[in-house]
Structure 1
């Protein structure tokens, strides 16, 4: 009888297809830890786990269970950490690489959903949809002209990053007759053009765009990159949209750029922390449309991510190279350790 391959996840919400796929495999033992239970029980599960499927929501998962050097030291059998999303904010990928542990994510699984919300935020801010909704529910005596907004059609859209989601935004944007610019230092000009945008440097993108939409990861190169200087460099009257990660933009600097009138509005799906405090200055502004990191939270996207995650784990445990391997340099070591564990 083949040795059991142990997969651990905690009891945060996940589309049921994840558990169904794994439990259909006779040699996989899926264990679900209770985050409200004793810490020792969770630690015991991780000590035995070969794969840890972890929530990527950094402000929802207790820090004790973020994948760090310290946690990895408690997981001697671990072959892989699987993020339950496109990002992996709760995983120190460098620490995993040092430990010879593969990191996989589900990048692309929610790209369409995120792209649709980004476009939706552009429309909501530009057409004052949320302001109109609030006024119509609570007041009378205002005119339709007081709610007059702008069409987004024919404007210039600047994308910060044109990966899976940015490319999906560019595709939808063409239907609105938007001119699409993209700044992405990780891609060649030819690749950016192939993905549906005109390649530009960051300064030109900020200066020419009527709407700037952020689709880059949060890392040491992007953290705080939208600061007061970046907002000042944007076109007067422009809109700022982000469905990326909180921490890329400076919330206080953005509030100042909006309050001063330099920027006309913002659509924000991501915050630092999440959720923001009720007294957050950005939430007090009618020029801001706010959502709670829900861009990728649709039934379709959550099913995609859960299904992809399960399939990737099953394949990995069979010795198949994962299609979304974040740290490919560790794969030979993972294969060797897998052979020692399972024969």
Structure 2
């Protein structure tokens, strides 16, 4: 394969510089960087020649014309692979229609996200956020007004028992002695038991859990999955935690549930607009713990994600079948397009 014959590009940023280091070690791979503000006469030739697009997961950090949709794919006729930390800015169906493989780096930040969810649960349960705010606002704080709860023997309901969910289950069950319920329509009861959770339906989970933790991907089925009906099923002392994706929960419905004191509070790492503006109504509650989609943002997770992404891209360009395919049904069409591009059929 000739020098720089395999073309990869990204926009604005990568998870970690290790991605560049790994790709630079390959003389047959050219890596291009585009900025959100790059003029079209600069980025158009890059898009036209590209075989791989390494795309970030934060939809609001990426200029709309670099989101992967049908219009974008018309400008990338040679594109074979979209590699993303998350698929928020990627229309997977449009990629499938175009014969483009979509992969992610699932599991690369599982420990980081799970620890963040657990930190939110403990902070809310022990009322640390309210205590901190009172101390900053008031003199002579009465600690008896800040009585919290232990989490031992409480029930956590985990929605989505994949890489992150199973890690939350392990921490909650093994470290804290909690009972774990789980809802995941894609896993059997046996598999969920192996991952530390008791399989239940969503409504039952919501009724029984002291903490509801969201760790499922965003797709058509999960969009607005937690709305008015679901918040009404939760116990008044229960907390809602999400470290997954915005739009899985209905922010207006959550706002109303908090106003009506139907639930005890919430820990929110993901939003419909990221980051949320300071005047966002959910940020006005002292029983809401907020972070700007940073659950998976640690030094260790970023390095792991960068390494996984780079290695998977290179394996795919070398004709191997990557392990984290989002749209496996596209493989026959993709394989034919790959053969046309590089003269070999991928394995």
TM-score normalised by length of structure 1:
0.96
Structure 2 gap ranges (5+): none
Alignment: residue pair count: 341
Secondary structure of the corresponding residue to residue 60 of structure 2: coil
Following superposition, the deviation at residue 177 of structure 1 comes to: 0.8
Tell me the residue number matched to 1:49.
50
Following superposition, the deviation at residue 268 of structure 1 comes to: 0.6
Tell me the residue number matched to 2:97.
98
Secondary structure of the corresponding residue to residue 337 of structure 2: helix
Q: Deviations over 1:88-136 (max 9, x none)?
A: 1111111111111111100111111110000000011111112222232
Tell me the residue number matched to 2:147.
148
Is the 1:9–1:54 Cα contact (8 Å) retained in structure 2? yes
Following superposition, the deviation at residue 13 of structure 1 comes to: 4.5
Tell me the residue number matched to 2:125.
126
Aligned partners of 1:2, 1:44: CA distance in 2, in Å? 19
Aligned partners of 1:76, 1:118: CA distance in 2, in Å? 41
Q: Deviations over 1:157-192 (max 9, x none)?
A: 111111110000000001111000001111111111
4+ residue runs over 4 A deviation: none
Structure 1 gap ranges (5+): none
Following superposition, the deviation at residue 333 of structure 1 comes to: 2.9
Secondary structure of the corresponding residue to residue 116 of structure 2: helix
Is the 2:14–2:56 Cα contact (8 Å) retained in structure 1? no
Following superposition, the deviation at residue 236 of structure 1 comes to: 2.0
Is residue 73 from structure 1 mapped to residue 74 from structure 2 by the alignment?
Answer: yes
Tell me the residue number matched to 2:170.
171
Is residue 275 from structure 1 mapped to residue 275 from structure 2 by the alignment?
Answer: yes
Aligned partners of 2:248, 2:274: CA distance in 1, in Å? 14
Secondary structure of the corresponding residue to residue 61 of structure 2: coil
Q: Pairwise CA RMSD of aligned residues?
A: 1.3
Tell me the residue number matched to 1:36.
37
Is the 1:237–1:261 Cα contact (8 Å) retained in structure 2? no
Secondary structure of the corresponding residue to residue 59 of structure 1: helix
Tell me the residue number matched to 2:160.
161
Tell me the residue number matched to 1:302.
302
Aligned partners of 1:331, 1:257: CA distance in 2, in Å? 44
Q: Pick which of 28-37 and 281-290 moved more.
A: 28-37
TM-score normalised by length of structure 2:
0.95
Tell me the residue number matched to 2:233.
233
Following superposition, the deviation at residue 250 of structure 1 comes to: 1.4
Following superposition, the deviation at residue 59 of structure 1 comes to: 1.3
Tell me the residue number matched to 2:196.
196
Is the 1:2–1:342 Cα contact (8 Å) retained in structure 2? no
